[in-house]
Amino acid sequence: MTDILVVGAGPAGLTAALYACRAVKSVLVLEKETFGGQITHSPKVENYPGIAQMSGTQFADWLLEQTLAQGAEVEMETVTAVRREGENFAVETEGETYTAKAVILATGSHHRQLGLPNENDLVGEGVSYCAVCDGAFYQGKRVAVIGGGNTALQEAVLLSETCAHVTLVQNLPVFTGEEKLLEILRGRDNVSFITNTVVSELLGAQALEGIVLDTDGKKSTLTVDGIFVAIGQVPENEPFRDLVPLNEYGYFNVDERCVTGEAGVFVAGDCRQKTVRQITTATADGASAAIAACRYIDALHRGDGGGRQSRRADRGVRSAFHRRGRAGALARRACGRMRRAAGRLRVSGGASGRSGERGRQGYDVPRVRGAAGAGDGRARPHFLHRIV
């Protein structure tokens, strides 16, 4: 029996495991393919806060090592079903059944591919699925966006701001995205449109050199430095349809609280409905889901059966540590004293009384160290960052 079982070891799942371990919960992570998820396909990541540049594989390795160091266990297993057994859950895989008090589904999604023979070989070498992630690498170059929906049009708008030329390739007679996005693109001289056309071949061995287009059986070649495939994503939620409702696109119908209608089941990352799918949003979901799961288990230990799961989540994400025993009580009392001090003290060095306001809002809270400052008779606070 484990406290929290996490299905999926992408950024959301590993972050959830990390947070749960820090809350002194036993954690098991089950992953069927690759630790790190889709991010491992990105050769460069330059938009993760605090890290100027890294590869997706580096990020996955670091996060996995950090999670294992905190005490999480990981297994390579394909989860086929999750069912409730009393207050616990049975998690079935192809070879074994695991039992847990709470389950976090971080199953992720994958980009729908073109299905061409050398597509996987050219990922990161001219083939990309995310303009936000990789668009900066094609500044001043010629690219093509494959697709005609909102995602494809948004990617084209972004790329047209920095690329020499953007060609939109759509397999249908018309583009299905918003007309306003099309108006923006039509107004840009470095954007062109091709319809009724599919990509039939990717040219290049070590790096992409161009694509072969098929328009009603007529072949042509388009020379480009890169392509951005935007023909949709495929969530991997079907085995859990009976446990958590899915929306019309197959994503878990759950908001940013990551709390489902099934007590003890939580979701995180790209598998849930959302408008932005990035590493940062996935890790944020992982933290939210883990904290909610920890509260649920703590409620079970208190004997209320976790029935207040949704109401607790409505109060926002706060640290699970603040609810644990004598240490939590001491922390709450200390925070109270610091907030009161914030209203009375002025921070030296040019800071204004607004610091007290920030303390009351829950950001940086002044804490008094020592009885007085260096010879001026005033107490000098320093800042203690909120634990989240």
**Catalytic-labelled residue, pool 133, 163, 258, 294:** 133
**pLDDT digits 0-9 by tens, 113-130:** 999 999 999 999 999 998
Pick 279 or 378 by higher pLDDT: 279
pTM: 0.63
At residue 327, does pLDDT exceed 60?
no
Q: Is the pLDDT of residue 373 over 60?
A: no
Residue 166 clears pLDDT 50, i.e. is over it: yes
Contact of 332 with 322, CB cutoff 8 Å: yes
∠ CA 76-80-82 to the nearest 5 degrees?
A: 105
Tokens, residue 56: 């997706």
Contact 115, 213 (CB under 8 A): no
Task: Confirm whether 258 is a catalytic residue.
Answer: no
Q: Residue range 48-60: average pLDDT?
A: 91
- Among 21, 61, 121, 130, the active-site one is 130
Q: Provide the residue ranges of all domains of the chain, joining segments of one domain with +.
A: 2-111+233-387, 120-229
Class of the domain covering 2-111+233-387: alpha beta
CA-based angle 45:51:56, to the nearest 5? Answer: 30
Instruction: Assess contact for 335 and 361: CB atoms under 8 A.
Output: no
Which pLDDT tens digit goes with each residue over 329-348? 555 555 555 555 545 444 43
Q: In the annotation, is 133 catalytic?
A: yes
CB-hemisphere CA count at 13 Å for 121?
Answer: 10
Q: Tell the CATH superfamily of the 120-229 domain.
A: FAD/NAD(P)-binding domain (3.50.50.60)
Torsion of CA 168, 173, 178, 181, to 10 degrees: 30
Q: Find the range with the poorest average confidence among 63-77, 96-110, 243-257, 302-316.
A: 302-316
pLDDT attached to residue 111: 85
Residue located via tokens 């980009």: 111
pLDDT at residue 83 in the model: 94
Same fold, 2-111+233-387 and 120-229: yes
- CA geometry: angle at 106 spanning 72 and 244, to 5°? 125
CA–CA distance, 298 with 344 (Å, rounded to integer): 36
Catalytic entry in 134, 225, 270, 285: 134
Compute the average pLDDT of residues 123-146.
93
Lowest-pLDDT choice from 62-66, 185-189, 260-264, 312-316: 312-316
What distance lies between CA 245 and its chain's CA centroid? 20
Q: For residue 276, is pLDDT > 70?
A: yes
* pLDDT interval class at 37 (50, 70, 90): confident
- Rounded to whole angstroms, the Cα distance separating 103 from 267 reads 8
Query: Is there a catalytic annotation at residue 130?
Result: yes
Q: At what angle do helices 354-361 and 325-344 cross, to 10 degrees?
A: 160
Average pLDDT, the chain: 82
SS3 201: strand
Q: How far apart are CA 200 and CA 212, in angstroms?
A: 6
Query: Three-state DSSP class for 23?
Result: coil
